[in-house]
A = this chain, B = another copy of it.
Amino acid sequence: MAGSSFGTIFTVTSWGESHGKAIGVVIDGCPAGLALSEEILQPYLDRRKPGTSAFTTKRKESDTVEILSGVFEGKTTGTPISLLVRNEDQRSKDYSEIASYYRPGHADYTYDQKYGFRDYRGGGRSSARETIARVAAGAVACEALKELGVSVQAYVKQIGPVVVPEGADDWAFAKSSPLCMPDQKSAEDAEAYLHQVIAEEDSVGGVVECVITGVKPGVGAPTFAKLDAELAKAVMSINAVKAVEIGDGVRVAEAKGSENNDAFVAEGKTRKATNHAGGILGGISDGDPIVVRATFKPTPSIAKEQQTINRDGEEISVQVKGRHDPIVVTRAVVVVEAMAAITLVDQMLMGMGAKLENVKKIWGAPEA
C-alpha cells in the first residue's frame, strides 16, 4: 500500500499540501453504527489549531472539518468517511526564494532527490498541516475506542531541559494551559525558558507521553506486527519525531531483570504490580495502561542565520522567515493521541478472529 495510507482494516489515507486547496483524509473500515458528526470531530481539530498561544504559529486557520461521506442519520455506515478541511490563509507571498535552496532540518532536499521537484509553498506535503488528516482520523478512532471503554490521553512530558516530574497528574491544568503539562511548576519553568528561546530566534525539542487505558489483554500480535512495533511506526511517522519508547524505554538499558520484570498479581485493577513494560508483553497488550513516548526535535524553521546550499549546490547563508512554532510538542499532543488511537483500533479489528470461538460468535451457524 502506498505510503499515504495507514492501517489494514481501519485504513486512513491522508492527502493535501500546506498551500493547496485543502487537507483531507479518507477513513475506510470504520465499524458501522458509531455516532459521528462535525460537532463531534471539531474539538479534536481545535486542539491542534495554530494561533492559540504565544508558542504557536500565527497562521490563521479555522480548520473547520466537513464530512463528505460515510455518515448517514448521524451514524457511520461502515463505508469510507471522507473528511475535508479547506486551507484559508495561504498567503500569496513570494516563494521563489525558498524554492531555490534547501532549508536545514527540512525535507526540501530529500523531496527533490526522490521526486525530482517539489511543491515548495509552505513545505507542501511535508508541512505540519498534514497532521490535520491524522487528527481528524484519530478523532474517529477515539470515538470508537470510547465505545469500547478505552481512553487515550497524551501530555507534554518535557520541553528542553524542563521535565515534568514522575507522578505529576494535574490533568485539569494540562488541559487548560497552553503547554499541556500536568504540573503547574513545570509549565511556568518551561514558559520562561521558551521566552528566552524565542528571543534567541531559536527553537527547542521536547517529549510527549501518551497513556492508553482500558485496553483488554490480547490486542496485538507476536513477531512483526507487535502492538509496540505498530505504535512505533505510527508515532515515528509524525514529523519531527526522533525516538519512540514503550514503558520504561531507554531507561531499561541500565535496569536489571529483577527490577524490570513486572510481577503478575491476582486479578484487580491492574494485572501487574508495576508497569515497566508499558502494558505490552511479547507484542500483545497485557491489560495495564499502554505507555508510549515520543521525542520531538526542535522546529527546524528558525530565524537565526544558518548555512545551507541552493539547488545548484552552492553554499549560502539563510534566515528562514515565516510563521513557525518555537516548539512542536504542544500541538503534537493530539497528533500522538490520534496515531495511537488509529493503531489501536486497527489492531483490535485485526485480532477479532484470533480464537476460533470468537469467529463462531460472529459467523457461526445458529444453534439448532
Contact = CB atoms under 8 A, between A and B. Distances in A.
A244 B232 contact: yes
Given A4-B28, A15-B69, A236-B232, A204 B256 contact: yes
Contacts of A115: 32-33, 77-79, 354-355
Interface in A315-368: 315, 348-365
A56 interface: no
A361 B149 CA distance: 13
A110 B279 CA distance: 10
A104 interface: yes
B237 A283 contact: yes
A217 B109 contact: yes
A109 B114 CA distance: 34
A254 B158 CA distance: 9
A31 B250 contact: no
Nearest to A249: B243
A260 to B, nearest CB: 5
A130 to B, nearest CB: 7
Given A148-B364, A237-B229, A13 B13 contact: yes
A28 B16 contact: no
Nearest to A263: B307
Given A285-B110, A352-B362, A357 B33 contact: yes
Contacts of A4: 11, 26, 28, 79-80, 222-225
A256 B201 CA distance: 10
A302 interface: yes
Contacts of A125: 69, 77, 79, 222-223
B255 A117 contact: no
A189 B360 CA distance: 44
B33 A110 contact: no
B22 A351 contact: no
Contact of A68 (B1, B24, B359, B364): B24
B69 A20 contact: yes
B80 A350 contact: no
A79 B230 CA distance: 18
A29 B197 CA distance: 40
A197 B298 contact: no
Nearest to A6: B224
A221 B81 CA distance: 15
Contacts of A304: 257-258
Given A3-B225, A26-B26, A256-B197, A295 B249 contact: yes
B257 A105 contact: yes
A161 interface: yes
Contacts of A351: 114
Nearest to A358: B362
A289 to B, nearest CB: 15
A178 interface: no
A149 B73 CA distance: 35
A261 interface: yes
Given A78-B355, A297-B252, A149 B364 contact: yes
A69 B218 contact: no
Interface string A8-36: 11111111110011111010110111100
User: 9 closest A-B pairs (Cβ-Cβ)?
Assistant: A107-B282, A3-B225, A149-B365, A2-B29, A3-B221, A110-B284, A233-B233, A203-B257, A2-B28
Given A31-B355, A77-B124, A233-B236, 9 more contacts: A9-B350, A72-B124, A78-B115, A113-B284, A232-B244, A258-B302, A266-B315, A273-B307, A361-B361
